[in-house]
Structure 1
Amino acid sequence: MLPSPLEFLVPLGALESVADVLPFAILAVVLVNLLTRVLAQRSYEQAAAEGDDEAMGRYLPHEIVNVLLIVLSFGYMVVHPHGGMVLSILVLGMVISDFFEYEARTVEARNDMELDRPNSALVASVLVVAYAGYQALFFVIEPIWSAIV
């Protein structure tokens, strides 16, 4: 049997060996993402309070966690196509909203306005946490779910 072309790009055997742990890892990274979002907002507020809007760069730990979350959700899509696709779309939506929220914070800082909370990114994060929790902790509600469905 010929190997799939995807096998040369993605180590399918390695992904299948961690397929059971992957939802828990994604849930943990999503929760770390929430923490880094809070720390990033504090960093932006501190830079704005100092009046140094040029120093208000992207918060590197948050950006690293975003990239890690994208990679993990794409890896999850390989082993669980349906759940991985839904999770990947939610994660990409969250990262895109992060991008625009950062730009909004820089505009507010440049115009000496009070910095607002990243509301759209927070809502997107809640959706990602909810779905990642559903994927990782499905075994908790599986008996009830199976009785209904």
Structure 2
Amino acid sequence: MDPLQFLVPLGWLAAVGPVLPYAILVMTVANLVTRHVAHKQHVEQGADGDSVDAYDPHAFTNIGLLLLSFLFLLHAPVSGTILSILVITMLIADLFELEARNVEARNDMTIESPKSSIVASLVVLVFAAYYALFFLVSGVWNQYVIA
């Protein structure tokens, strides 16, 4: 018996659960791509005006990644908790980096790349790739596990 079965109906999650790591990996790669495009847009906006706006496709991938990590939390509680913490950290870094880009635009400074957001995204990518693509290294990994 699942302890959450009375709180949240989890029957549908059994069908979707095995696909979640792959969806998270795809969303993480899409997030990195939209982060790159958003930075290009911020550089253009910073040169033209006094502020930069959030890039809507990047906001969509951020929210999608957050929702997928919360779904993954229900499917695999320990790995989902780790992933959710990493994604929330990435979102907080994104908020601070957007504000830093606004300060740079208002003060006519050069728009720098969002370094902390990139690092946080890469950490999420590494964890998502590890969890989704573990079958590629499971043979080698299991040889070195001491029982």
TM-score, L = length of structure 1 = 0.92
The answer to whether residue 6 in structure 2 is matched with residue 4 in structure 1 is: yes
Task: Spell out, residue by residue over 1:35-69, the C-alpha distance to the aligned partner (whole angstroms, 9 max, x if none).
Answer: 1001111111001111x124x21111101110000
**Alignment match, 2:35:** 37
Report the 3-state secondary structure (helix = DSSP H, G, I; strand = E; otherwise coil) of the residue aligned with 2:17.
coil
Counterpart CA distance in 1 for 2:95 and 2:84 is 16
How many equivalent pairs are there? 142
User: Which one of the candidate residues 52, 69, 72 is aligned to 2:65?
Assistant: 69
- Residue aligning to 2:13: 15
The residue type equivalent to 1:31 in the other structure is V
In the alignment, structure 1 residue 86 sits paired with structure 2 residue 82: yes
Q: State which of 69, 79, 97 in structure 2 corresponds to 1:101.
A: 97
Which residue of the other structure, out of 14, 28, 53, is the alignment partner of 2:50? 53
CA distance in structure 1 between the aligned counterparts of 2:50 and 2:55, rounded to whole angstroms: 14
Gaps of 5+ in 1: none
Offset, 1:14:
1.7
**% of aligned pairs identical?**
44
Determine whether 1:111 maps to 2:135.
Answer: no
For the pair 1:24 / 2:61, whether they are aligned, the reply is: no
4+ aligned runs moved over 6 Å, structure 1: none
Show CA shifts across 1:96-135 (max 9, x none).
1000000000000000000111000000011000000000
CA distance in 1, matches of 2:27, 2:50: 29
Query: Paired residue for 2:144?
Result: 148
Give the root-mean-square deviation of aligned CA atoms. Answer: 1.2
Look up the SS of the partner of 1:53 in the other structure.
coil
